[in-house]
Amino acid sequence: MGNQDRKPVLRGRHLLGIEPLSVPEIEALLDLAEDYVALNRRAEKKLSILRGRTQINLFFEPSTRTQSSFELAGKRLGADVMNMSVKGSSVAKGETLLDTAVTLNAMHPDLLVVRHQHSGAVDLLARKVSCAVINAGDGWHEHPTQALLDALTIRRHKGRLQNLVIAICGDILHSRVARSNILLLMKMGAHVRLVAPSSLLPPAADRLGPEIHTDMQKGLKGADVVMMLRLQKERMNGAFIPSLREYYRFYGLSEEKLALAKDDALVMHPGPMNRGVEIASRVADGAQSVIREQVEMGVAVRMAVIDALTRNLQQPQDKESAA
């Protein structure tokens, strides 16, 4: 379990995205996460493999579920976890991202979990610190732990990812979840479809690899997995789509539309949901929904990622002898 043999799982020092990961790395992370699913279901959940390690959660964008999931993951592995809220911090006082990085680095953290509203910001920060960095979401770019937890959820239900038909539906243009999922699922040999109005598809979406559908009825036909995305409020009114009711009518996952997918299709959503906008309540709470399970898998996957990255760090005693 986790700490028995701490062989290397990842080649890199950071987890900045799905893009640089290889198939064996993804598989090893998912396998490791399976162990933590089992651990998390026990009464005694706490390990000590990260004793002495410091994890800082640095969230430039507010987040409830991802931040608490990372916090819990670090604590269950025995690390000291600190949450840096940006509101009221030196960042709010005008400090640049790189100054913040240098300041934090001087505190000798072992892990930095970072979310930022701008694509590429986490990557920039990672180049200035000496610890391991986990991207907890950067702009529209990547959200690798979300893609990993989605993959774990699917794999546990379907036994595989290869050759599954997976429809990712909604605001693809502004979604880091979609980008990371497209990358991961295509690496693993799944058939990915993007379902969205043209105004919410990235430019040249057809060149990213997946099949493009602007008609949800066709996009859902025969799907093994239906992955819904959250529609951001500021994009709802007339700018990218006409209105909430029109969006729900054509792109909301209702029971009728879900019936077009396979009978045993999984319904997923990264949360938080807009009920009655991108998903009907009856579907969100229905028998095919694995949305709550995704949250559970989130903690396990983040434990696996933290575990894997700290395996690549110098051991504490090495650090001391080097000093």
Partner 1 sequence: MTWAMHMKGDDRRRAFVNARLVDPATGRDQAPGGVLVEDGRILATGPDVTADSVRAAEVVDCAGCLLLPGLIDMRVFTGEPGNEHRETLRSASLAAAAGGVSGIIVMPDTAPVIDEAAIVDFILRRARDTAVVRVAPMAAITRGLKGECMSEIGLLREAGAVALTDGRRGVASPRVLRHAMAYARDYDMLVCQHVQDDDLAAGGVMHEGELSARLGLPGIPVQAEVIMLERDLRLVELTGARYHAMQVSCAESVEVIRRAKAAGLPVTCGVSINHLVLNENDIGTYRTFFKLSPPLRTEEDRQALVDGLVDGTIDVIVSSHDPQSADTKRLPFAEAAFGAVGVETMLSAALSLWHTGAVPLVRLVEAMSTTPARLLNLEGGSLQPGAPADFAIVDPCMSWQVRPDALHSLARNTPFENRVFDGRVVHTVVAGRTVFTYDGPARLSAPSA
Which range, of 25-33, 59-67, 71-79, 238-246, touches partner 1 by CB under 8 A? 238-246
Instruction: Determine the size of the site formed for partner 1 (CB under 8 A).
Output: 16
- DSSP SS3 for 165: strand
Start-to-end C-alpha separation, the chain: 32
**Nearer Cβ to partner 1, position 22 or 243?**
243
Q: Is 206 in the site for partner 1 (CB under 8 A)?
A: no
Q: How far apart are CA 294 and CA 302, in angstroms?
A: 12
Q: How far is the CB of 47 from partner 1 (least distance, A)?
A: 50
Q: Cβ of 289: how many Cβ atoms within 10 Å? A: 20
- Between 16 and 55, how does the x/- string for binding to partner 1 read (CB under 8 A)? ----------------------------------------
Residue type, 317: Q
Q: How far is the CB of 201 from partner 1 (least distance, A)?
A: 8
Q: Is 233 in the site for partner 1 (CB under 8 A)?
A: no
Q: How far apart are CA 203 and CA 244, in angstroms?
A: 23
Q: How far is the CB of 199 from partner 1 (least distance, A)?
A: 4
Q: Which residue has the tokens 């090893």?
A: 28
Q: How far is the CB of 276 from partner 1 (least distance, A)?
A: 16
Q: Which residue has the tokens 């964008």?
A: 61
> Residue from 237, 281, 314, 315 that binds partner 1 (CB under 8 A)?
237
**Nearer Cβ to partner 1, position 146 or 175?**
175
**Nearer Cβ to partner 1, position 163 or 198?**
198
Q: How far is the CB of 245 from partner 1 (least distance, A)?
A: 7
Q: How far apart are CA 277 and CA 171, in angstroms?
A: 12
Within positions 168 to 197, which residues make up the interface with partner 1, using CB under 8 A?
Answer: 197
Q: How far is the CB of 200 from partner 1 (least distance, A)?
A: 9
Side-by-side strand order, sheet with 80-85: 80-85, 54-59, 111-116, 132-138
> Residue from 106, 239, 287, 322 that binds partner 1 (CB under 8 A)?
239
The dihedral over CA atoms of 24, 143, 193, 298, expressed in degrees to the nearest 10, equals 70
Q: Is 207 in the site for partner 1 (CB under 8 A)?
A: no
Residue type, 126: A
- Between 246 and 265, how does the x/- string for binding to partner 1 read (CB under 8 A)? x--xx---------------
Cβ atoms of 274 and 44 closer than 8 Å: no
Q: How far apart are CA 179 and CA 200, in angstroms?
A: 13
Integer CA distances (angstroms), 76 to 43, 294, 295, in order: 12, 18, 16
Q: Is 285 in the site for partner 1 (CB under 8 A)?
A: no
In sequence order, what are the beta bridge partners of 266?
A: 225
> Residue from 19, 99, 206, 215 that binds partner 1 (CB under 8 A)?
215
Residue type, 184: L
Q: How far is the CB of 243 from partner 1 (least distance, A)?
A: 5
The answer for residues whose C-beta is within 8 angstroms of residue 214's C-beta and 6 or more apart is: 195, 196, 197, 198, 201
**Nearer Cβ to partner 1, position 13 or 235?**
235
Q: Is 214 in the site for partner 1 (CB under 8 A)?
A: yes
Residues in the site for partner 1, rule: CB under 8 A?
197-199, 214-215, 237-243, 245-246, 249-250
